[in-house]
Amino acid sequence: MKLLQLTQQAHEIEKMLIESGGEITPELESLLTINKNELAKKIDGYDHIIDRLNYSAEFLKKKENEVKQARQSVENFTDSLKERIKAAMLDLNLDKIEGESVYFKLSKSRPSVSVSEDQVPLDYMVTKFVPDKEKIKQDLESGIQVEGCVLKESYTLKKYIKKG
């Protein structure tokens, strides 16, 4: 398979993968199926697809961060405008303020609790229980059974460049 064909196939796979929400559909499966005769070519093609998808993921992550920052800026500015209206209403001792097409009303809401955690007495603190995975792993490796826990074998795929 030529580089142009691999690139086109990688683009098609990427497009199908995004459209399927990351699910490997039968169509995708057939594109990814390894034929023993083409194994070496497919491995190089898979590497190309992996690289392309990694670049796409990085690009989308960067865009996601940019969009998130823009969203947060808009939300912060919106909150600031609301706080200005609320402050003006409190300063003027108004519970309602009108524009030409909208009005705002102040209504008392339930009080919220503001906490300085380093000053709160222990009687008001709660303990959160989380599994100690390191201890569980040590016990399982020692042959001790831990209910609800198993050791799962895992593999790491590493990429190497062939020296030719």
Quickly list DSSP for 104-124: EE-----------GGGS-GGG
Q: Which two tokens stand for residue 161?
A: 């460049």
Whether the pLDDT of residue 35 is over 60: the answer is no
Whether the pLDDT of residue 164 is over 80: the answer is no
Whether the pLDDT of residue 147 is over 80: the answer is yes
Whether the pLDDT of residue 160 is over 70: the answer is yes
Determine the pLDDT at residue 34: 54
Using an 8 Å Cβ cutoff, are 96 and 106 in contact? yes
Determine the pLDDT at residue 97: 93
Which tens digits make up the pLDDT trace of 101-127? 999 999 988 888 999 999 999 899 998
Determine the pLDDT at residue 42: 73
d(CA 65, CA 72): 10
Q: What value does the mean pLDDT take over residues 132-146?
A: 95
The phi, psi pair for 104, rounded to 5°, reads -120, 145
Q: Which secondary-structure segment (H or E) carries 39?
A: helix 39-91
Q: What value does the mean pLDDT take over residues 25-49?
A: 73
Least confident of 108-117, 121-130, 135-144, 153-162: 153-162
CA dihedral for 63, 65, 68, 69, sign (positive or negative): negative
d(CA 95, CA 89): 7
Compute the C-alpha angle 112/114/120, nearest 5°.
130
d(CA 18, CA 41): 24
Using an 8 Å Cβ cutoff, are 106 and 86 in contact? yes
Position 13 confidence tier, pLDDT thresholds 50, 70, 90? confident
